[in-house]
Amino acid sequence: MIILKTPEQIQIMREGGKILAGIMKELEKEIKPGIETRYLDKVALGLVFRYRAKPSFKGYMEFPACLCVSLNEEVVHGLPSDRKLKEGDIVSLDLGILFKGFHTDMAITLPVGKVKPETLKLIKTTKKALDIAIKKAKIGNTFGDIESAIQEFAEGKGYNVVRELCGHGIGKDLHEDPQVLNFGKKGIGPKLAEGMVFAIEPMLTMGDWRIKRAKDGYGFETKDQSLSAHFEHTIAITKSGHEILTKT
């Protein structure tokens, strides 16, 4: 069942989303070669507590960290560790916070130092896929309209979309109905209605879309070890269209 949010609840999520986006901007400043991924988790946790919020992921399904840090072929849910960022890597940061009883969720992929042009293109294309999908988020459209927009754009640029992971409804629970896939057909699925809040999160790969569990036991990586990028925003459906809640 899709849970519609009241204007008052969306206002709380708007406040939380602004905090989350601000934290992400601070984390972005920390990305450079030589940094351990667990350092990023420490910084993220400190910022979450500074804003009197709570980390959504820590303890969720036994995940022991605040921040998901995924490198190169890792798609999502990478566990922070003593691994160090290297020049030419790409790193995906995924963070959720609980603020005043409501969750918001956001992800970005960043280059570490100077990366290959084709790597930078993957990052830019994934971000653009999210932007295109968000434009489809308005009353009267279906979730299939969002999903097909991601797939058509990504595949048109020569990439594949991960099919075994997806976006999701969000609110008092981190994961609510509906699932928001990264592939689909126009006109399929529930119609968007005012008060819906959900996370759209395209995950693109340079190779095959199939994934496997990473060695850390928490993350997922591409089976063929091809590079992957991930972007995510929490979106609210409004009378006039949509609002990106996870922005400063």
In order, the DSSP letters of 139-187 are: TT-BHHHHHHHHHHHHHHTT-EE-SS--EEE-SSSSSEEEEE-SS--TT
Domain ranges of the chain: 7-242
Q: Which helix (H) or strand (E) holds 237?
A: strand 233-238
Q: Which CATH superfamily is domain 7-242 in?
A: Creatinase/methionine aminopeptidase superfamily (3.90.230.10)
CA atoms within 13 A on the CB side of 200: 31
CA atoms within 13 A on the CB side of 143: 21
What pLDDT score was predicted for residue 199?
A: 98
Q: CB-based contacts of 117: which residues, under 8 Å, 6+ apart?
A: none
Tens place of pLDDT for every residue, the chain, 248 residues?
A: 999 999 999 999 999 999 999 999 999 999 999 999 999 999 999 999 999 999 999 999 999 999 999 999 999 999 999 999 999 999 999 999 999 999 999 999 999 999 999 999 999 999 999 999 999 999 999 999 999 999 999 999 999 999 999 999 999 999 999 999 999 999 999 999 999 999 999 999 999 999 999 999 999 999 999 999 999 999 999 999 999 999 99
pLDDT tens-place string over residues 166-198: 999 999 999 999 999 999 999 999 999 999 999
Helix, coil or strand: residue 203: strand
What pLDDT score was predicted for residue 3?
A: 98
CA atoms within 13 A on the CB side of 146: 32
Question: Among candidates 62, 85, 31, which has minimal Cα distance to 216?
Answer: 62
Provide the CA 1 distance to its chain's centre, in angstroms.
Answer: 22
What pLDDT score was predicted for residue 128?
A: 98
Question: Among candidates 166, 174, 185, 142, which has minimal Cα distance to 230?
Answer: 166
Question: Among candidates 7, 1, 25, 10, which has minimal Cα distance to 248?
Answer: 25
Backbone angles phi, psi at 101, to 5 degrees: 90, 0
